[in-house]
Amino acid sequence: MSARLVLSDIGASFPAWESAFRRAAPDLALIHDQPSRDLPGLRYCMTWKPLPGVYDRMPHLEALFVLGAGVERFLADATIPPRVQIVKMAEPGLTQAMEHYVLWQVLNHHRRFWELDFAQREARWIDQTYPAPWERKVGVMGLGTLGEAVARRLKSFGFDTRGWSRSAKTIDGVTVFSGTDRIDAFLDGLEILVCLLPLTPETRGVLNADVFRHLAPGAGLINVGRGAQLNEADLLTALDSGRLTAASLDVFAAEPLPAAHPFWRHKRIFMTPHLAADVDPQSSALAIKRQIERFEAGQELEHVADRTRGY
Ligand code: NDP
Ligand code: OXD
């Protein structure tokens, strides 16, 4: 393969990516982007974050490979010409990391491990009971690359698993609901709700009091989608009233979350700083190499964001 790929805004991690690409795609010529450098004839670019204006320097750019699965900031960047396809990252390292994170937190809610943590700090020897996983109703909102893998993983660990997506689909052993008119049926009586939706106008604020009302009393929430999908005031009210027992949050409306934010000190909120799942350089390099090969062979790119749908 003799194609050229520009790595934009990679900064200090350029050497790590260079060595990943050298192993996965030795024939792909890598270019370390420099501000103000014109890149005529360049068709492929990989980047972490939107770089408004940078695309003027790449008049022949056709595919923008984003080092992440959520591309809402790219879709909001009006300086990306319509001809450029915005490609979401889909690679086994990212998917497996997300499966691990969600499984960890589902087990945390299922077995209430956080109660044991409190008890240890107070030197209390406590007793606990818990249902079998197949008696635990867990639901995953969003059944894309990540949500589907997570739903399958939860099913394989024995949970009574449901999923919800925009379009209808079939996942072995998972009860799937689709469309806005089926959201109530999906939510009804769920004990653990996982959000793996992309951020779009429809999903902004989707985790709100109306949704919490449909869950089983004392349900747990896990948000690994985007912070703006959560109505923060509704979460605090739901935790205070006992409607929800606990929440695991990896993503926040403001990142980094300001130190004065009430979530930091809430006893029933378990937080991680947006690191549920990150891309793996080696398998990402391989995924991008395969995409470029497809494209050069006249095939469609995969995982292209749809500007109309917003994800
Ligand atoms: P995909 O684009 O592959 O899948 C999105 C899924 O959401 C699809 O199943 C889609 O339905 C569904 N969906 C979108 N809009 C709606 C809606 N209005 N109602 C119901 N379902 C809807 O995304 P990924 O699985 O790759 O990633 C999901 C999100 O996870 C990312 O957008 C990002 O925000 C977040 N993320 C978070 C990370 C973290 O570290 N916390 C890491 C990586 C991603 P359909 O199948 O019908 O199209
Ligand atoms: C992503 C993320 O979208 O890290 O990949 O949140």
Summarised one tens digit per residue, pLDDT across range 106-129 is 999 999 999 999 999 999 999 999
Indicate left, alpha or beta for 37 from its phi (over 0: left) and psi (-120 to 50: alpha). Answer: beta
Distance from the alpha carbon of residue 210 to the mean position of ligand 1, in angstroms: 21
92 CB within 6 A, ligand 2: no
d(CA 293, CA 5) in angstroms, rounded, equals: 12
pTM given for the model? 0.97
Q: Is the CB of 310 under 6 A from ligand 2?
A: no
* 68 CB near ligand 2 (under 6 Å): yes
Query: Ligand 1: distance of its center to the CA of 226 in Å?
Result: 10
Ligand 2 centroid to Cα of residue 18, in Å, is: 21
Annotated active-site positions, please?
226, 274
Asked whether 311 lines ligand 1 (CB < 6 A), one says: yes
Nearest atom in ligand 2 to the alpha carbon of residue 94 is: 5
Which of 54, 44, 74 is closest to 9 using CA atoms? 54
Round the average pLDDT of the chain to a whole number and report it.
Answer: 96
**Ligand 1 pocket, 251 CB below 6 A?**
yes
Ligand 1: centre distance to CA 116 (Å): 33
Give residue-wise pLDDT tens across range 36-74.
788 889 999 999 888 888 888 999 999 999 999 999 999
SS3 101: helix
pLDDT band at 1 (very low <50, low <70, confident <90, very high): low
Label residue 305 exposed, middle or buried (CB < 10 Å: 0-12, 13-18, 19+): buried
